[in-house]
Chain A
Amino acid sequence: MPTRRAFLQSTLAVIALPAVGLSIVHSAIAARPLRFVIDGGCAVARRLADCAGATLAGDDVAVLIELLNRDEADAWIGLTRDAQRFIFETLARPRGFELRYAGTHDYRTGTLQHRVVGDLALIAPHTQALAAAGANWPTALLDYAALLSRSRTPGDSARITTATLRPPGSADYLTSWCWRRS
C-alpha cells in the first residue's frame, strides 16, 4: 500500500487558482484516475496540498474548464469553501458528472462538526476517520478517495461532532465532495 505522499507523487501538477482559490492535484493511480481539487484560499485545505507535494501549474478557471473537457479522470474529489464548490459543480454537471458524496465541515459553532451524505455503509471508514483524526481530518479524503468515488447520493446523512478547533487561517465552513462521470 503506497504512503500518502507516494500515492500523490504520481501527481502531474497542481493547478492553483488563486483568484478562486482552487488547487487541482492530479493523480493517476491505478486504473481509476482521480483528481483532487483543493481550495488554495483556506489554510486547512492548503496543508492538504502541501502534504501531497503538489506544484503550481496554472492560475485561471479556464484551465479547470479545459481539464474537465479533455480529462479522462473518472472522479474529482474536492475540499473547498462552498462558493468554490459551486463553481466546480456548475462546470461539472453539464459535462455529465454526478454528485457521489457530499460533506460539510463547519467550525462556526466553536468546534468542528462534520456532516456527510452518501452511501454511509460504504464510506464508513471515511466517516470514522473524520471522527478520529482531529485536526488532520482532511487527510481522510485522500485516504478514502476510492470509496468516496463509489458512493452514491442522495444517500443517508450522518453528523459527527468533534472537539477540534478552527486552525488560524482556515475558513470556518468547508465542503468536501466527489463528482463522478455518469
Chain B
Amino acid sequence: MLPPNLTQADFDRAMDELRAVLGREWVIAEDGPRRASYRDPFAPRDVDKSEPTAAVAPANVSEIQQVLTIARQYRLPLWPISTGRNFGYGGPAPRHAGTVVLDLKRMNRIIEVNEKHAYAVVEPGVSYFDLYRYLQARKIKLWMDPAAPGWGGVMGNLVDRGAGYTPYGEHFMAQCGMQVVLADGTIVETAMGATPNAKARHLYKYGHGAWVDGIFTQSNFGIVTQIGIWLMPEPPGYRPYLVTFPHEDDIHQITEVLRPLKLGMLVPNAATTVGLIWEAAVKVSRAQYYDGKGPLPDSARKRLASDLNIGNWNFYAALYGPEAIMNNNWKVIEESFRQVNGAKFYFEADRGGDPAFAYRAQLMRGIPNMTEYSLLNWVGAGSHVDFSPISPVTGDGALKQFHIMRDLCHRHGFDYIGEFLVGWRDMHHILMLVFERNDEERKRAVRELFEALVNEAAQAGYGEYRTHLDYMDAIAETYHWNERALYRSFEMMKDALDPQGILAPGKSGIWAGRSHHKRS
C-alpha cells in the first residue's frame, strides 16, 4: 500500500532518492523477509492494516536530516523505531499501512558511560543487552535498569515511558539530557545541553526556561537521537525476596502495607505484586492444569498454587545497601507484611531452581534477560496485547481495579494475567491479554475485551499510561477533560513542529492538521 496521496511514480522516486542517501541495503521496499520483519506479529486484528510500505535505516543524524528532506518533499510519513521489540504494544509496526518505518537500529553507539557521575549516553539502537555487556566488559560498577525483555531499546523504552524493576525503574525519571531532530531537520539539544561545551549536560535535567524533554516522549514531535540516562551505582549488598499471599482479595491489604514502605523508601525499587497466572506461566502451561474453555477454574488455580508453591499474589522486591541496613529494613518489611494472614517469605536460597524467582532477581539487579517471553507458552502459540491503567497505591484502588479487570477478562473467556508494578506514587497495573495467535475467534474476543477494558477503566477514572497502536485514538479520547484541552494543546504543538505531519502520524492519538492554528 502506498503512502496517502502519493502516486507509484512519486513513491519510486522517493525510494531512489533514499537509496542514494542511505545505500541500497538500507532502503527495504521490496517484498521479502526483511520488510516482513516490520509487521506487528502479535496484532489482534488483520496484520496488513499496519504493514509498512518500506523501511529505511539511517546511520547517523546527518542521514536522518537527509531522509527528512526527502520525506518533506514527498510528504512521506515516517514511523521512527529504536529496536522495535515491544510486541505487546505493536513492536516495529507503524499505526497505518502506507507508512515508512524509520529504523534507528544502526545508530547503536554507547556514546559515553561516566562512572564518576553514574550516567550513560546512548543512541536509539542500543539494547539493554548491549549496555549490560558494555558495563560488564569494562567492569564498570554501575547497574542499568532493564525492562523485562532484554532485547528492547534503552532509549525506545524510555521515550515510551516504560518501566523496569530496580530503584531506577521509573525510566523517564532517570533521563537527563536529550538530542532531538525536528521535522524540519533542526537538531535540538535540550536542557543544559543547549549551552555550548555544557559541563552538566547529563547531570541537571532542566536547564533554563521551559523543560521540553517530556514532549518528545510518547509523541511525534521529533526524532530522539541521543539520551542521557542515570545509572545506579552498584550497592554494597543486594538481597531479592518474594512474599506470597494466599487470597485474591489480599491485594487490598498488601497495597495498604506497601504504601508507607514505598513512601519511606524501605522498598526502594520498582517492586511488583504479581498475580498467580503471570507467576506460573513462565514455568507451566494452561493445558497442564485445565483443558476446558474460559478462565482457569478455582480448583485448577489451587492446584497450580500448591504445585508451584506460589500465592494468588506474589510480591517481588529487593533490599539494597550495606548488610546492617538491609537487615534493619528487612525487619520492618517482614513485620509489615506479616499483618497479612498467610504471608510467606522467601529469599533466593529458598527458591533454587525457580525460573520465575531467578528472572525477577536478575531484573531487580539490572541484568537483562528474556525469560518473561515464556509467558506466551501459557496457551501454546501465544501472542499478547497489554492494557495498562494506572492505579493509586491504595488498597481500595487496587482491589477495585483488580476486580474490574479480572471480571471483564473472565466474562470474555480470558484468564486474568496481571501484575502491579509499584512506582513512586502510583502503580502500573499491567494486564497481559494472552491469546492464541492463530485463532481468529480468540483475536476477535480479545479485541472486544480490550474495548470493554478501555471503557470501564475510563468510566472508573483510571487512565492508561501506554497502549497498543490499535488503541491509541481510543485512549486519547479518554483524556478529554475540558473539551480535550490536553489533546488540543498537543495538536497545536504538532502543527507548529511538524506542519506536514510526516512524523509518526497518529502516535498516541496525536494527528497533524487539527489545530485551529493549522485550519486557519
Contacts and interface: CB of A to CB of B under 8 A. Distances in A.
Given A60-B369, A83-B375, A19 B359 contact: yes
B425 interface: no
A61 B382 contact: no
A62 B368 CA distance: 10
Contact of B33 (A98, A109, A173): A98
B33 A82 contact: no
A94 B37 contact: yes
A108 to B, nearest CB: 4
Contact of A93 (B33, B359, B375, B382): B33
A86 B376 contact: yes
B404 interface: no
A87 interface: yes
22 contacts: A20-B370, A21-B374, A41-B374, A62-B133, A65-B151, A81-B374, A81-B377, A82-B382, A83-B382, A86-B41, A87-B373, A89-B41, A90-B37, A90-B41, A90-B151, A92-B33, A93-B36, A108-B285, A108-B287, A173-B285, A173-B287, A173-B377
A141 interface: no
B381 A104 contact: yes
> What range describes how many residues of B lie at the interface?
20 to 34
B37 to A, nearest CB: 4
Nearest to B127: A62
Given A19-B355, A41-B374, 10 more contacts: A17-B370, A19-B358, A20-B371, A21-B374, A62-B129, A83-B374, A86-B373, A93-B34, A98-B33, A182-B33
Contacts of A20: 369-371, 373-374
Interface string A4-37: 0000000000000101110000000000000000
B369 A83 contact: no
A97 B373 contact: no
A38 to B, nearest CB: 15
Contacts of A83: 373-377, 382
Contacts of B41: 86, 89-90
B466 interface: no
B37 A93 contact: yes
Contact of B380 (A60, A89, A92, A106): A106
A119 interface: no
Contacts of B85: 90
A2 interface: no
A105 B260 CA distance: 50
B20 to A, nearest CB: 22
Interface in B337-363: 355, 358-359, 362
Q: Taking chain A's interface residues, is the majority helix, strand, or loop, or is none over half, making it mixed?
A: mixed
Q: Shortest 3 CB-CB distances between A and B: which pairs?
A: A93-B37, A173-B380, A19-B369
Nearest to B438: A104
A86 B377 CA distance: 11
B298 interface: no
A86 B39 CA distance: 13
B371 A82 contact: no
B94 interface: no
A19 B371 contact: yes
B196 interface: no
B291 interface: yes
Given A83-B382, A94-B37, A61 B129 contact: yes
B328 interface: no
B504 to A, nearest CB: 20
A175 B377 CA distance: 11
A81 B36 CA distance: 22
A94 B38 CA distance: 8
B340 to A, nearest CB: 31
A109 B288 CA distance: 10
B370 A61 contact: yes
A165 to B, nearest CB: 13
Contacts of A82: 376-377, 380-382
B124 interface: no
B291 A96 contact: no
A96 B30 CA distance: 12
Nearest to A60: B129
A137 to B, nearest CB: 18
A125 to B, nearest CB: 26
Contacts of B380: 82, 106, 108, 172-173
B125 to A, nearest CB: 12
Nearest to A82: B381
A171 interface: yes
Contacts of A175: 381
A99 B159 CA distance: 33
B169 interface: no
Interface in A146-170: none
